[in-house]
């Protein structure tokens, strides 16, 4: 999958964000850089737009359409889904050629999810965005970052994803990078405590008929549904996807 990085600006402030200060330090993405990234698209190749939060960019519709004109077989959007709740926004992106969402949900209730995003009201907006995406005909996969605070809610997140119309879910262990590096003691769960909750959530996914994925362990057929499985290549003259800290990621 070709991954196009649209900068690090985001309308959430997630406690586990691996990009950390890059949202403030990195230069804004330019149309020239995105067009250069899209120029290499090969016919039949799937493509994902990632951020930051890609829906903040007013040119997103045009970039999606450009990717499809260049032959992208499908276009995936990695998003928190909040701006898709704006009436007509999801339908406009679908009309431009968007085919699927990799939408982040980190709790099955507003208190849990909003605690992780740092934005009151983000849960209701993300859920509304997911519903709007499905109504617009977009495939929906849900990514939940596994933290110390949401372990006991993971099965609930799977059930919520199913109710919203998702057909796949990815549980992505929080990593000690960026903002999560300094907050690791309160963000990263001990692996021995996380494993039973993750296993239970994956069992629920199987019972509900959702394809389940843990971390970056690729399951055949899912490698094109989650943008996080790809590595974002920086645009010419741009920065890498994230600054890597020395602490190891949580291994489940």
CA distance 202 to 170: 9
**What is the mean pLDDT of the segment spanning 35-58?**
94
Which of these ranges, 147-156, 188-197, 223-232, has the smallest mean pLDDT?
Answer: 223-232
CA distances from 113 to 15, 20, 39, 149, 164 (A): 11, 19, 37, 10, 15
Identify the top-confidence range among 148-152, 241-245, 246-250. Answer: 148-152
What is the CB neighbour count within 10 angstroms for residue 40?
11
Which of these ranges, 46-60, 70-84, 111-125, 173-187, has the smallest mean pLDDT?
Answer: 173-187
Please name the fold of domain 2-229.
TIM Barrel (3.20.20)
Asked whether residue 19 carries a pLDDT value surpassing 80, the answer given is no
Mean pLDDT score of the chain: 85
pLDDT at 44: 94
Q: What percent of the chain has pLDDT over 90?
A: 66
Eight-state DSSP code of residue 125: H
17 or 244, which is more confident: 17
215 or 247, which is more confident: 215
Which of these ranges, 21-35, 107-121, 127-141, 212-226, has the smallest mean pLDDT?
Answer: 212-226
**What is the mean pLDDT of the segment spanning 106-122?**
97
Q: Work out the pLDDT band at 180, boundaries 50, 70, 90.
A: low
Q: Work out the pLDDT band at 238, boundaries 50, 70, 90.
A: very low
Asked whether residue 75 carries a pLDDT value surpassing 70, the answer given is yes
Q: Which residues pair with 171 in a beta bridge?
A: 144, 214
CA distance between the termini of the chain: 25
């Amino acid at each position: 999958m070709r991954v196009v990085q649209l900068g690090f600006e985001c309308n959430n402030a997630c406690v586990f964000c691996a990009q950390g200060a890059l949202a403030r330090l990195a230069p804004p993405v330019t149309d020239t850089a995105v067009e250069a990234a899209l120029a290499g698209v090969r016919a039949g190749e799937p493509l994902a737009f990632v951020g930051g939060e890609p829906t903040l960019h007013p040119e997103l519709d045009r970039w999606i359409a450009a990717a499809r004109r260049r032959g992208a077989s499908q276009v995936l959007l990695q998003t928190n889904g909040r701006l898709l709740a704006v009436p007509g926004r999801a339908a406009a992106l679908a009309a431009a050629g968007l085919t699927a969402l990799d939408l982040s949900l980190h709790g099955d209730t507003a208190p849990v999810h909003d605690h992780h995003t740092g934005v009151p009201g983000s849960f209701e907006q993300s859920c509304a965005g997911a519903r709007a995406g499905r109504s617009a005909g977009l495939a929906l996969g849900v990514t939940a970052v596994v933290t110390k605070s949401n372990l006991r809610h993971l099965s609930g997140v799977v059930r919520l994803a199913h109710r919203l119309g998702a057909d796949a879910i990815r549980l992505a262990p929080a990593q000690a990078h960026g903002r999560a590096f300094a907050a690791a003691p309160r963000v990263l769960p001990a692996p021995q405590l996380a494993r039973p909750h993750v296993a239970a959530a994956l069992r629920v996914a199987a019972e509900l008929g959702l394809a389940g994925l843990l971390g970056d362990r690729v399951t055949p057929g899912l490698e094109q549904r989650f943008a996080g499985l790809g590595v974002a290549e920086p645009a010419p003259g741009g920065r890498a996807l994230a600054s890597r800290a020395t602490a190891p990621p949580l291994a489940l």
